Amino acid sequence: MLIHLDSSQRTPLTEQIVRGLARMVEERVLRPGTRLPSIRQFAASHKVGKFTVVNAYDQLVAAGYVQSRPGAGFFVNRPCALEDPAETEPQTAQANDVLWLLRKQTNQNCFRHRPGSGWLPQSWYEENGLDRAMRELARRGCDGMDSGYGDPLGYAPLRTHVCRLLAEHGIEACPKQILLTNGVTGGVDLVARLMVRPDDGVLVDDPGLYQWFGHMRALGANVYGVPWTDEGPDLERLEDLAKAHRPRLFITTPIVQNPTGCSITQGTMFKLLKLAERYDFHIVEDALSALCHPDAPPRLAGLDQLDRVIFTTSFSKILSPRLRVGFLAGHKDLVGDVVDLKLLTQSASSEYAERLVCEVIDQGNYRKFRSRLFAKIQKARIAAVRRLESLGLGPVDDRTHGLFAWLDIPGIADTTPLAEAAVERSMLLAPGALFRPNMEPSTKMRFNVAFCQDDGMCRELEALINAAAAPGCR
């Protein structure tokens, strides 16, 4: 017998075999090249079924501990030199490009405090209905999913649900006007690749979502920032830019704008649509944060009825950031062209993930969880704003909403060095310059209210700000 097995334990026998042999390989009791007993021999000597041994050996092969040689048997594998790509300590870097915060956010486990994060805490996604939906899909099986890529528009029943969700905001669309995408970024990428050529102009919010700045520049576009006011984009400045540069797109977050939390007024919406028609550009309406608004204001796409407005949002922000299921809605001719581009560049999106989202909606969990989640965000916002204003930050405009608070930092002319210093204290901050298209120095920072509930974080932040604002440190 190589290892001792105990059928009275709760651990399955297959798992006991895998753990036991893996440990012997790691401790070099079993050396590379050693031939393991045949399945029949192991089963007989350890008094277990052959099927149990087959499963255990297959798992050991998959884990790299064992190599299968047809006709010869199973042999201990030579260990691979695997390096853990994850950083164990936060690495200081210059917060002077749009990828800085994206890189930091993907390595969030290195930070004790994360007020600069773009996502919700993992614990907030509990009871989102995904586990139940996964079990139900596994129970029923997914006929017809083992062959082909599926519908290039995406899973048809989910697109039908999307049409109903859009109708609640006055947006009339048929399923053929809906394209399921790899999150909002996947949808915007397809639209931009279709419509933008090198040296074309693209308008963005200023301040706005840093991802779009880098994304459009990577496509060769010239990016121009439209200043954001408490009523929406500055239309005078927008018209000046439209006259001078004849942009192809304006990518904007009109409701609960990221990072300011402001929302466009209805009057500004009408004027913006007229400018889009006059200067012949399309508007990409990023509605990812719009559900955080307590009064459900009209959408640009509802006023325009998907003529010049391309509406995009995602289920991922609500259900799980790793799910990556979003959609865009637009004029049927434009969506047809985008579908062709999707076929050329991606073949299809994941029907498995789309079916999972559809199942969550079918079970009635999506709306309930969405309501609970945004009530929780609103409550967290009130508490976080109170904490941050007590440190002298802000003030926060009462007309703003959502996951983020956009605040002035007293005594700091540029918050970029502050964010870099915070990394050494294991704190992730989002400096204001990242949200400016040309990275101009900013006195502001974006705070995620869900991560601003901890007294320890507030004390660390206060100490950091005081040290940065001290004479000779500005």
Strand, helix or coil for residue 178: strand
In terms of Cα–Cα distance, which of 215, 213, 177 is closest to 193?
A: 215
Average pLDDT of 70-79?
89
CA–CA distance, 141 with 359 (Å, rounded to integer): 13
Average pLDDT of 225-248?
96
Average pLDDT value for the chain: 89
- Winning range, highest mean pLDDT, from 107-121, 129-143, 192-206: 192-206
CA 352 from centroid of its chain's CA atoms: 18
- Winning range, highest mean pLDDT, from 242-246, 436-440, 464-468: 242-246
pLDDT at 318 over 80: yes
What pLDDT, on a 0 to 100 scale, did the predictor assign at position 82?
55
Sheet containing 404-408: order of strands: 404-408, 444-448, 430-431
CA–CA distance, 114 with 109 (Å, rounded to integer): 9
What pLDDT, on a 0 to 100 scale, did the predictor assign at position 92?
45
What pLDDT, on a 0 to 100 scale, did the predictor assign at position 294?
84
Asked if 211 and 98 touch (Cβ cutoff 8 Å), the reply is yes
Give me the DSSP letters along 424-458.
HTTB--EEGGGGSTT----SEEEEEGGG---HHHH
pLDDT at 445 over 80: yes
Which residues in 324-350 are b (16+ Cβ under 10 Å) and which e?
bbbbbbbbeebbeebbeebeeeeebbb
CB half-sphere exposure, 363, CA atoms < 13 A: 20
457's CB contacts (< 8 A; 6+ apart) are 113, 115, 427, 451
C-alpha angle with apex 428: 424 to 434, nearest 5 degrees?
A: 110
CA–CA distance, 120 with 321 (Å, rounded to integer): 9
CA–CA distance, 311 with 343 (Å, rounded to integer): 20
Sheet containing 222-229: order of strands: 178-181, 326-329, 309-314, 282-286, 249-252, 201-206, 222-229, 232-233
- Winning range, highest mean pLDDT, from 1-15, 189-203, 342-356: 189-203
Strand, helix or coil for residue 261: coil
Give the H or E element holding residue 232.
Answer: strand 232-233
What pLDDT, on a 0 to 100 scale, did the predictor assign at position 199?
96
CA–CA distance, 109 with 87 (Å, rounded to integer): 9
What pLDDT, on a 0 to 100 scale, did the predictor assign at position 407?
95
Count CB neighbours of 470 within 10 A.
10
What pLDDT, on a 0 to 100 scale, did the predictor assign at position 86?
52
CA–CA distance, 297 with 263 (Å, rounded to integer): 9
The domains of the chain, with CATH numbers, are: 13-76 (1.10.10.10), 99-125+368-469 (3.90.1150.10), 146-362 (3.40.640.10)
* Cα-Cα end-to-end distance for the chain: 70
pLDDT at 15 over 50: yes
C-alpha angle with apex 394: 390 to 396, nearest 5 degrees?
A: 100
> β-strands 178-181, 249-252: how paired?
unpaired
Average pLDDT of 289-317?
91
pLDDT digits (tens, 9 = 90+) for 379-414: 999 999 999 999 999 888 888 999 999 999 988 889
Asked if 78 and 37 touch (Cβ cutoff 8 Å), the reply is no
Give me the DSSP letters along 95-137.
--STHHHHHHHTTGGG-SB-TT-SS--GGGGTTSSHHHHHHHH
What pLDDT, on a 0 to 100 scale, did the predictor assign at position 444?
94
- This prediction has a pTM of 0.84
Average pLDDT of 215-239?
95
pLDDT digits (tens, 9 = 90+) for 84-106: 555 444 454 555 566 777 777 66
Which two three-digit tokens encode residue 38? Answer: 């045949």
